Amino acid sequence: MKYINTLSYFIVLAFLSGCSSSTKTTDPLQQQLEGKSPHEQREVLRLACLNGAEKITGRSSLWKHSTAHGTIYIHDKAVEQMKTVCRQMDSEYLTESADKKLSLYAQCNAQLDKINNPKSVQAVNDMRDICDVYTQGRSKP
């Protein structure tokens, strides 16, 4: 009987703690962009994009390969292509060219559509959010 009371007590506590923590959660990227100047937002987005590109394949993007003459590093092509798109978006972040931004948005989504690893679904969705914010030139409402 003692264990049943203790168990029911912990169940009630778990339920109440779940109810009290149901506050509105915000996007971490959105939190980082709030209150920053356009140049600071650009830097936050640049780092988020380049770091996110490392995670989109769900595996390491850099492999060491030993040869008779030393070690060479092999880079994942999908990651390198996504980083190239990130750098292009960074260079166009403060411009007003809607056509160029639309083109970069399409290019970003095309690169992400090529990724079909079930382990990296969340990373790809995060990158889509970054591309959306990057190409709009402002934080999402």
pLDDT digits (tens, 9 = 90+) for 108-128: 999 999 888 788 888 899 999
Q: Sorting pLDDT into bands at 50, 70 and 90, what band is 141? A: very low
Q: Does residue 10 fall inside a structural domain?
A: no
Residue range 47-61: mean pLDDT, rounded: 81
Residue range 91-99: mean pLDDT, rounded: 83
Quick check: 87 pLDDT over 80?
A: yes
pLDDT value of residue 25 = 46
Q: Whose structure tokens read 């990373």?
A: 123
pLDDT value of residue 46 = 92
Burial label for 80, CB within 10 Å (0-12, 13-18, 19+), is exposed
**Structural domain boundaries, residue 110:** 28-136
Collect all residues with Cβ–Cβ distance below 8 Å to 63 and sequence separation of at least 6: 73, 74
Q: Does residue 45 fall inside a structural domain?
A: yes
The whole-angstrom separation of Cα 29 and Cα 18 is 24
Looking at the structure of the chain, the number of domains it has is 1
